[in-house]
Amino acid sequence: MRICVVGAGAVGGMTGGWFAKAGHEVSLVARGAHLEAIRRRGLTLVSGGKPEVHPVRASSEPADFGVQDAVFICLKTHSIAAMLPRLSALVGPDTTVIPAINGLPWWYFFGEGGRFDGQPVACLDPAGTLFEALDPRHILGCVVHAAAEVSEPGVVRHTAGRVFLIGEPDRTRSARAERLAAAMNAAGFEARQAEDIRVEIWVKLIGNLSYNPVAALALAHMNDIHGSEALLALIREMMKEAMRVAEAYGVRIPMTVEERIDIARQLAGAKISMHQDVDKRRPLETDAIIGAVVELARKAEIATPMIDAVYALISERAKHL
C-alpha cells in the first residue's frame, strides 16, 4: 500500500515505522529538526527495546507524495484546520483517510443518524470548513490505545500499547476497513473493526477529559492523582457528567466509572499528554478534549458543572503558555 502519515511525531512516527518495516511505501509529513533528521538518516523506531532504521520519504509538503491508498492524520487537533486543505493532493477517489487524533473528532456527526446528523462540531469547525476541505466519505474513524515519544529528532520510541480501533462513521462493516485492519495486523499493530466507533471514542474521551486537564492544572503525574482522594473525587464527577452527555447522544459507556479509573491506573507514574504540553509550553487540545463535550452538553441540556469549571480553568491556563 501507499501510506502517508501526516504529523509524523510520536504516534505518527510509530505508525509510519511499523508500516515501513512491513514493506509498504511510506511517506511522512513532518517539520523542523525532526524532518531534517529523517531525511538524513531515515526514521529510527525503537520498539521492544530494539532500534530499527527505516528509509522513508519525508517532506513538509503533502503535495510532494501524490495520491495514496491510506492517509493517517496524527496531528494535534488545533493543527488540523490549517493542514486539511493541503491534503487534497494525497486524496484520490478511493483513498481512505484515518484521523488518529485525540478527543471528539470534527467529523463526529457525519453518518451519526441522530438529530444533528451531518452538522459540524462548532468549537472544532465553526465555519464548516473542514467538511469542505475533505469529503467526509473518505473518513474511517480511529481510536488509538498506544503511546510513543520522540526521544530526539528522527527517533521515535514506542512506549506502550499497539491497539488501533477503526470503524465506519455509519457503523457498517466495510471491505476497506477489513483490508486496512489486515494490513495493520500484518505490520505489528493490534487493529480491529469496532462495532460502533463512537462508543470507543467516548470510552477513551471520558478518561482524557478528566485526567488530562486535572494533571495539567495540578502538574500531577498519574500516580499523584490516584494517591489523592480529592483529585479522584473530581475525576469521578467529571466522568459521571461525561457519561450522561454520551447517553444523551445514544452512546452507553460499557463500563463503570471505577472500571474506567482502573484502566487509567495502568499508566502508573506517567506524565500524560496535556501535562507534557504545559511543561513544554505547547498549545493545549482543550476544545477537542473538553470544549466539545461542553458544547454537546449544552445542546442536549445536560448539566456538567464540574466539567464546565475545569474547562474554564484549563482554557485560561492555555492562554498563558
At 180-209, the pLDDT tens digits run: 999 999 999 999 999 999 999 999 999 999
**82 and 182: one domain?**
yes
pLDDT value at position 306? 98
**162 and 233: one domain?**
no
Tens of pLDDT, residues 91-136: 999 999 999 999 999 999 999 999 999 999 999 999 889 999 999 9
What span, in angstroms and rounded, lies between the C-alpha atoms of 40 and 227? 45
**101 and 246: one domain?**
no
Indicate which CATH number applies to the domain containing 157: 3.40.50.720
**34 and 174: one domain?**
yes
Specify whether 204 is catalytic. yes
**251 and 301: one domain?**
yes
* Cα 40 to Cα 35, 36, 97, 157, 302, distances in angstroms: 9, 6, 28, 18, 53
How many percent of the chain have pLDDT more than 90? 93
**141 and 218: one domain?**
no
Confidence of residue 270 (pLDDT cuts 50, 70, 90): confident
**139 and 223: one domain?**
no
Tens of pLDDT, residues 213-226: 999 999 999 999 99
**12 and 128: one domain?**
yes
**Which residues have CB under 8 Å from 246's CB, separation 6+?**
202, 206, 252, 253
Phi then psi for 51, rounded to 5 degrees? Answer: -80, 135
What span, in angstroms and rounded, lies between the C-alpha atoms of 16 and 295? 34
Query: What number is the average pLDDT over the span 283-288?
Result: 96
Q: Which of 131, 160, 195 is at the close of a domain?
A: 195
**56 and 175: one domain?**
yes
Question: What's the domain range around 92?
Answer: 2-195
Query: Which set of grid coordinates corresponds to residue 49?
Result: 527495546
- Given the residues 21, 204, 240, 271, select the one marked as catalytic: 204
53, containing H or E segment:
strand 50-54
Query: What number is the average pLDDT over the span 218-245?
Result: 97
Helix and strand counts by DSSP (H, E) for the chain: 13, 10
The residues facing 281 across adjacent strands are none
Counting the structural domains of the chain, the total is: 2
**76 and 153: one domain?**
yes
Contact by Cβ (8 Å): 26, 16: yes
Q: Which of 174, 195, 216 is at the close of a domain?
A: 195
Q: Which of 177, 195, 213 is at the close of a domain?
A: 195
Whether 21 shows a pLDDT value over 90: the answer reads: yes
The radius of gyration of the chain from alpha carbons, rounded to an integer in Å, stands at: 19
